[in-house]
Amino acid sequence: MPDLSPELLAFGFIWYIAFLFSTTCHEAAHALVAKIGGDSTAALGGQVTLNPVPHIQREPWGMVVIPLISFALSKGQSMFGWASAPYDPLWERRHPRRAALMALAGPATNYLLMFLAVIGLRVGAAMHWLGRDPSTGRADFPTVILFVFFTLNLLLGTFNLLPAPPLDGSSVIMLFMSENRAHRYLDWLRGNNFAVLGLIAALLVFRQFYPYVEDFAVNVLIRGQF
C-alpha cells in the first residue's frame, strides 16, 4: 500500500473534486446539446445537470472507485476515470451532424473550464491575490486549485478529441463528412467492437504527443505568471 501522507491526501482531494466537477460538466454538456438537437435520452436520465449524483449513479466505477485507486497507486502522479451519457443510436443515424456536435460539446466544455482557470491564474497573479510561500516556495491553495483545473481539463479535452472509439473524437469527425459518408462511417464504427482496441491505441499515441501539447499550453497561457 503506498504511503499516503496528509499532504498527498489533501492534494488527492483537490484532484478528485476537480475531476468530479469537470467530468460532470463534460457529460452534462453532451446531454444538453443532445437534448437541443432532439435526443432526450440523457435528459430523461437526469444528466442535464451539474449535480454529480446522476452521473456517478450511471458510472460509479469510472467516477469514484477507479479515480481514487489510480491516484493512490500512482502516489499522486495521475488520476484516471470515465463517465458516459446515453444517446439514441437511431437519432445519431438520422442526424450525424447533430451527434457530432453532441460529442464535441464535452471536450469544448473542458477547454472552457481550462481557459477559466487561466483567467483566474492570470488575474490573480496580476492583482497579487495568488503567489507562493516565500519560505518554502510552494504555491498557495487557490493557485494549486486553479492549476489542477487547468491541467486536468487540458488533458481531458485533448484526450477525448482523439479520433478513436470510444472517445468523442471518433464522432466529432463526422462534422467534416457529408451525410452519406457519415452513414457509411457509422455502419463501420458501430458495426464493429473497436472500443478496447481504440482506447489502447489512443493511450499509446496520447502518451507520445501530449507532453508537447501541455508544454505549449503552459508556455503560451500561464508561463511567467508566477
- Positions annotated as catalytic residues are 27
Q: Is 176 exposed, middle or buried (0-12, 13-18, 19+ CB in 10 A)?
A: exposed
Between CA 179 and CA 201 the distance in angstroms is 27
Cell of residue 203, nine digits: 493511450
| Ordered alpha helix ranges (H), 61-161 | 66-73, 89-94, 96-126, 141-160
| Ramachandran area for residue 76 (φ above 0: left; ψ -120 to 50: alpha; else beta) | left
